[in-house]
Amino acid sequence: MVKKIIFSARQDHEIIGIFTEKLKEIKDIELTTHDPTKEFFNLSDIPESFKNADFIIAKIRNECSIDLLHYAKLHNIPTLHDVDTVLMCKIKSPLILL
């Protein structure tokens, strides 16, 4: 059974490129890549490939990444990172500097 995986991260990074290539080598994975620094979307207009995902991997970079994790939570799509944890860390970070 082929698993549909979304990998959302800046695609021009060397390490991300290596990881992407390794995922593409696995025959039971249908990989869709997304660069949140270049491809923005609204949750109301999310790409069809995202709606049918079995798993989402997102390197958190900006609000687009957080929106993607929120979408996954709303639609019960498993993710590598949990949106609630990401938001808690994001909120606490400025408080640490105080």
**Residue 71: what residue type?**
Y
Tokens at 47, concatenated = 């790409």
Using CA atoms, how far residue 41 sits from 14, 19, 23, 36, 63, in Å, is: 25, 24, 24, 9, 10
Strands 55-58 and 3-8: parallel
Q: Is the pLDDT of residue 95 over 60?
A: no
Residue-number span of the structural domain to which 31 is assigned: 3-97
Domains: count for the chain: 1
pLDDT, position 90: 75
Give CA 61 to chain center in angstroms.
Answer: 10
Q: Residue 86: what are its φ and ψ, rounded to 5°?
A: -60, -45
- pLDDT tens digit string along 34-83? 888 888 777 777 888 888 999 999 887 777 788 888 899 999 999 988 88
Q: Does the model's pTM come out above 0.85?
A: no
Q: Is the pLDDT of residue 96 over 60?
A: no
CATH of the domain at 78: 3.40.50.20
Q: Is the pLDDT of residue 92 over 70?
A: no
